[in-house]
Amino acid sequence: MIPALSAQMMNGLGGGDPGWIPEGAVAHLNFIGGNYFAGGQSRTVDTILGGAFLPVSIDPSMGMYVDNTSPNRPNAIGPLFDDIAAGLAAGCTVVFEIQFQDDPYGSFIHLMDAAGANAATEWVSGTIFGGAAYVQDQEDIELSAGAGSLTTAGLHKIAFTFARRADGDFEYAVSSDGSVAETMTVDYAPLSPVNTITLFHDGDDTSILDDAWVHSITLYPAVAPAGLPALTA
């Protein structure tokens, strides 16, 4: 059951759906199709990605390229920032579809109270290291999925759930390539306000997604753990 949504997230589900976004999605970035949706309507990519984002990193047949050798360092801005920040406050799920050219490694998303991970005192992140996808924060959260299965180049789908409401607590979850979701519940609320949302880097060049083509990013209201394998299969 989808938890109560903030007004911002409800706006994202409104009448602006162009018909090509996944069912139930609040925001969707399709780098191969060149279609971008946030804040309840279609957008141009430069209105939702900023920071050191390089539009030339997008190849319409491959996606958006990220690597530690590339200067492309996108941050969520504008309507996309608003959708994700509202999503964290209400509970949300973010799904990444990525073609890795080498062993999967690095950062997917960091939500922080500062511009970079080193300066942040409160943060939550989705990353991939050592063959597993992780959700972590500055306090107690550390859980992973994949358990050594995310070790090969190729197409992978990973879903991270942040702060889903669960009997007054906050549930976090991660699933990869159709795996059963791993979950953890904490009794403290997620960070607020959010200062920066980085995509595929941590703001300090300490953790960068390695040699990968990003096909898509999709934001949903928080999906129950049982529903995550279908999103990542």
pLDDT (tens, 9 = 90+) of the chain, 233 residues, equals: 233 333 334 333 444 678 889 999 999 999 999 999 999 999 999 999 999 999 999 999 999 999 999 999 999 999 999 999 999 999 999 999 999 999 999 999 999 999 999 999 999 999 999 889 999 999 999 999 876 778 889 999 999 999 999 999 999 999 999 999 999 999 999 999 999 999 999 999 899 999 999 999 999 999 999 999 999 99
In a domain, residue 1? The reply is no
- The residues with which 201 forms a beta bridge, in sequence order, are 208
Rounded Cα–Cα distance for residues 214 and 31 (Å):
7
Domain that holds residue 106: 7-232
Return d(Cα 133, Cα 106) in angstroms, integer: 9
Asked whether residue 81 is assigned to any structural domain, the reply reads yes
Can you give the pLDDT at residue 13?
Answer: 41
Report the half-sphere exposure of 131 (CA within 13 A, side-chain side). Answer: 5
Question: CB within 8 A of 103, min separation 6: which ones?
Answer: 131, 151, 152, 153, 210
Rg value, the chain, Cα: 16
* Number of other CB atoms surrounding residue 88 within 10 Å: 21
- List Cβ neighbours of 19 (8 Å cut-off, separation of 6 or more): none
In a domain, 117, yes or no: yes
Predicted pLDDT at 3: 34
CATH code of 182's domain = 2.60.120.200
Q: Is residue 148 part of a domain?
A: yes
Q: Residue 2 domain-assigned?
A: no
Structure tokens at 36: 């971008």
Q: Give the per-residue pLDDT at 196.
A: 98
Q: Tell me, what's the pLDDT at 164? A: 98
Q: Give a yes or no: residue 170 inside a domain.
A: yes
The total number of structural domains that make up the chain: 1
The pLDDT score that the predictor gives to residue 16 is: 67
